[in-house]
Each structure stands twice: as structure tokens, then as C-alpha cells.
Amino acid sequence: MDTSSRISKIRSNERERLHGPPWLKALQRALLSCTYTMLDYAQTGLIAAVFFFKMMEWWYQSAEERMSAPTVYPPPPPPPAPKLSGGESHLVGHDMDLNYVSKRRVPNGPDPIHNKVHTSLY
């Protein structure tokens, strides 16, 4: 005998055993129907709640593993050595003096362009 048919047979037997006037039997039948419906939904809801709880447990466990595991990156490769065309570096003899870095020589004196005195005519 199937479980659902066994349950429906038990429920129908309980409905037949009701005693009292017709209005009381109708009220008892309605209360039994509500109770049985609530129990059916509670069983389904319990299964859904357990499934949801297990899914959330799995989700947060995998997230915690990702957060707690340190990410290990390989060391970066060393930068490539500068390639100079012309033999020896032009920076070596001048101890990295920024006046000698470019091909254009910058004088070590006052700047004649930016140090002009501005006169205005009113």
C-alpha cells in the first residue's frame, strides 16, 4: 500500500468517527482539513528549509575557504637591463646628474626666460 493512500485512508476514517450535530461535524471537518493541509505544507516546508540551509552552508564554506586561503603569486621577473646604443652609458661618468641626462645641456645659472621682470602699462 502506498504511503499517500494509507494517509488518505487514515484521514477519511478520522472524519467518519466525528460525533455531534451537523454544524459541529462541519466545523470539526473544516478544522481537520486545515490541520492536515498545514501538516502537509509543514512537511514540504521543512524539506525546503533543510535544503536551503545546506545550500547556504555550502556557499559560505566555499567563500570562507577562498577568503582564508592566502593567494600566493610567483615573484615578478626582474626588469630587463637597459639597452644602450653606443657602448658605455652616458650616465656613469656624471653620477646621474640630471643636467647631463639629455642631449641638450642645461646651464647651471639663473633662468633668463622665467626670471624676467614683468612690467605692465596702465
Q: Is the pLDDT of residue 58 over 80?
A: yes
In this structure, which long-range contacts are made by residues 85-88, counting pairs with CB atoms below 8 Å and at least 24 apart in sequence?
none
Dist CA 61 CA 90 (whole Å) = 59
pLDDT single digits (tens) 3-27: 778 877 887 878 777 778 888 888 8
pLDDT single digits (tens) 82-106: 776 655 555 455 555 665 555 555 5
Dist CA 44 CA 52 (whole Å) = 12
| Percent composition of the chain: helix, strand, coil (DSSP 3-state, to 5) | 50, 0, 50
Alpha carbons within 13 angstroms on the beta-carbon side of residue 80 total 3
Q: Is the pLDDT of residue 28 over 60?
A: yes
Question: pTM of the prediction?
Answer: 0.35
Dist CA 93 CA 105 (whole Å) = 15
